[in-house]
Amino acid sequence: MIRAICPGSFDPITNGHLDIIERASKMFDEVIVVVMTNYHKKGNNAFTVEERIALIEKATENLANIKVDSYDGLLADYAEKHSVNVVVKGLRALSDFDSEFQQALANRKLNQNFETVFIATRAEHMYLSSSLVRQIAEYGGNFADFVPAPVLEDIKEHYRKD
């Protein structure tokens, strides 16, 4: 059985994230979507870890081989603790590749059994990011085309409370 990790901050999950997760689910026996703490954004997230996990679970409930978890530490350590040797990273643009490639090399140095698989996003999601969704939602704009349908109302409700 080949298991893979699909890490990210998912703050919140977008259609671009879901596309990568769905495609990874066809390539691997099990995919663990891991909500990671982004040390650049520590303490500055729109959604709690628990809220992000709930949104991902709701968006992926039709995918039997998806599990959702969270971790606050090094991805290579998570992989070793859970006996996972593959990480799946989505790429939107060449600029993503530079930082993701650096991370892949560092992860490989930390855990020699850890391989990175890059999946290029579909063209219709190249511009899409969680920060774009947050910005549109904060100003009351229509972001329905940017997030998975099962979580649209949850995200709208989150921004109504603010």
Catalytic site positions: 17, 41, 92, 130
User: Nearest-CA neighbor of 88 among 162, 154, 22, 157?
Assistant: 22
Q: What is the 3-state secondary structure (H, E, C) of 59-123?
A: HCCCCCCEEEEEECCCHHHHHHHCCCCEEEEEECCHHHHHHHHHHHHHHHHHCCCCEEEEEECCH
∠ CA 129-110-79, nearest 5°, is 60
CA dihedral 3, 37, 12, 89 (to 10 degrees): -40
